[in-house]
Amino acid sequence: MKERKYIKSLGSLVGQEIVIAGWVDVRRDQGKLVFMDIRDMTGKIQCVVLPNHTEAMESVKEVRNEWVLKVTGIVNKRPERNIKEGVQNGDIELEITGIEVLNKAVTPQFDVTTDGKEIGEDSRLKYRYIDLRRPRMQKNIRNRHHVAKFIRDFLDKENFIEIETPILTKSTPEGARDFVVPSRLYKGTFYALPQSPQQYKQLLMASGMEKYFQIARCMRDEDSRGDRQPEFTQLDIEMSFVDMEDVMEVNERLLIDLITKLYPEKKIQEIPFPHISYKDAMEKYGCDRPDLRKDKNDPNLLALCWVVNFPFFERTDKSDNPNTEGEWTFTHNPFSKPIKEHEEWLLERKNIGDIITTQYDIILNGFELGGGSIRAHNPEMLKKVLEIIGHKEEDIKHNFGHMLGALGSGTPPHGGIAWGFDRLMMLMENEPNIREVITFPKTGEGKDLMMESPSGVSEKQLKELGIEITKKK
């Protein structure tokens, strides 16, 4: 049997008989001739069945769109008048001599030859395995792979190591609600799914790893929002023996390299990225993620900037959350460190509203692409932060005792950042929301329409877990 050829590489095989396999993209019956466009992951080619190939002509009569075929054929040069300039394989076509049907297909729920934006999103998500066949989605998901690989290769050359952190962890109050997982072996106790690898990556700095990264899955049980997902992907980076400038420098260099090499059609407005204080951003732009593009109608213009000098704490809005214990809450991250000039204020719990943190956000075209900080590597400093935001002594020991213990074991100064990887891909691919760059996303309401989840579980499963569901009266 001849080796299967990929469609992208057929141009040099004119005159040869080959075998290709793929989906029927379009079928056009013109009586004596039947044309088909066949596609695989590398592209499309026009195929033709001629009357003299009687077996192939008989087989092709029943073939329909989205059937999966293996075809044998001869690569021919197209007549000069039929050449399509600028189209993949526009100068050749495949004369089919044999057809093997690998799988039939029911009529697709929708057309996959368009960009899909004319189709209701619920339908697209319910039949995602079909929706992903369209060229735009293939491009998005394949480019997502290329970006992830580029990041891995770049950070590897910078002596970072990729480390996986646990998915089953402990529920701690970090901001958003946790998804909790009941333990069968220890009934009445629960794991939590990670909101981020924040604590683990700091524990890795205590372990002497020094340079860590991970393209990490994160889960947060948050209220519905159109551009929010219950599970999402972050690029997490942490470094030891660094200050703010060190972390920002390597991230800026990574972004410039990534955009320049993978998206050469895009232009970065200003290099190096400008630095704007939180105060100036709020006064000048009315937000802490300003869109600095000089031409906001150019989707390939990328205006990146750093926003720095954030306030560490803000007053708690009791009307919004009446159960809040403290009068202060953190603006970004409780594990952050104040700037050096304000460390004494933190330790003495004075001028709380004026304390500036070592937080830095990277902004792209008005979106917060990522954020990070230099961490409190001194356990007393972290404890003071937790006390300021209202945690009692026993709660600190229960929820964060492992962190305080690690920081007191000889942990170096360290800091890091987390990028919203889905958001990065959305902006790079000029898509309107992150669902267009996630392979199997949930709806804005957190539902998986394809797998029909969340869903109930059996009484047997509940009994094994020691759980009983009670209905409200």
- Tens-digit pLDDT profile for residues 423-441: 999 999 999 999 999 999 9
pLDDT of residue 130: 97
What average pLDDT does the chain have? 94
Q: What mean pLDDT comes out for the span 319-346?
A: 81
Asked if pLDDT for residue 325 goes beyond 90, the answer is no
Q: Is 50 helix (H, G, I), strand (E, B) or coil?
A: coil
35-70 tens-digit pLDDT: 999 999 999 999 999 999 999 999 999 999 999 999
Contact 341/309 with Cβ under 8 angstroms? no
The span from the CA of 399 to the CA of 391, in Å, is 10
pLDDT band for position 226 (cuts 50, 70, 90): low
For residue 105, which amino acid is it? A
> Which structure tokens are listed for 124?
């697209």
pLDDT of residue 2: 79
Q: Where are the beta strands (DSSP E) in 242-397?
A: 267-268, 275-277, 301-302, 304-308, 313-315, 328-330, 359-364, 367-374
Q: What mean pLDDT comes out for the span 456-464?
A: 94
The span from the CA of 35 to the CA of 46, in Å, is 7
pLDDT of residue 172: 84
Contact 303/364 with Cβ under 8 angstroms? yes
Q: What mean pLDDT comes out for the span 312-330?
A: 70
The span from the CA of 430 to the CA of 300, in Å, is 8
Q: What mean pLDDT comes out for the span 301-320?
A: 87
Domain 129-437 indexed as CATH 3.30.930.10: yes
- Report the number of secondary-structure helices (H) and strands (E) in the chain: 12, 19
The span from the CA of 464 to the CA of 360, in Å, is 46
pLDDT band for position 322 (cuts 50, 70, 90): very low
CATH of 7-103, one of 3.40.50.920, 2.40.50.140, 2.60.40.3140, 3.30.930.10: 2.40.50.140
What is the layout of strands, in order, in the sheet containing 275-277? Answer: 161-162, 211-219, 231-240, 414-420, 367-374, 359-364, 304-308, 275-277
Domain boundaries, the chain: 7-103, 129-437
> Which structure tokens are listed for 151?
């990041």
pLDDT of residue 225: 73
- Indicate if the alpha-carbon torsion angle 219, 221, 222, 226 is positive or negative: positive
pLDDT of residue 323: 43
Across 16-27, b (16+ Cβ under 10 Å) vs e yields: eebebbbbbbeb
Q: Which phi and psi (to 5°) does residue 290 adopt?
A: -70, 145
The span from the CA of 302 to the CA of 279, in Å, is 23
pLDDT band for position 1 (cuts 50, 70, 90): low
pLDDT of residue 321: 47
The span from the CA of 372 to the CA of 420, in Å, is 12
Same fold, 7-103 and 129-437: no
Q: Which residue has the higher pLDDT, 262 or 326?
A: 262
pLDDT above 70 coverage of the chain, percent: 97
Asked if pLDDT for residue 318 goes beyond 60, the answer is no
pLDDT of residue 333: 87
Q: Where are the beta strands (DSSP E) in 265-366?
A: 267-268, 275-277, 301-302, 304-308, 313-315, 328-330, 359-364
Asked if pLDDT for residue 319 goes beyond 60, the answer is no
pLDDT band for position 31 (cuts 50, 70, 90): confident
88-142 tens-digit pLDDT: 999 999 999 999 999 999 999 999 999 999 999 999 999 999 999 999 999 999 9
Q: What angle do CA 178, 437, 124 make, to 5 degrees?
A: 95
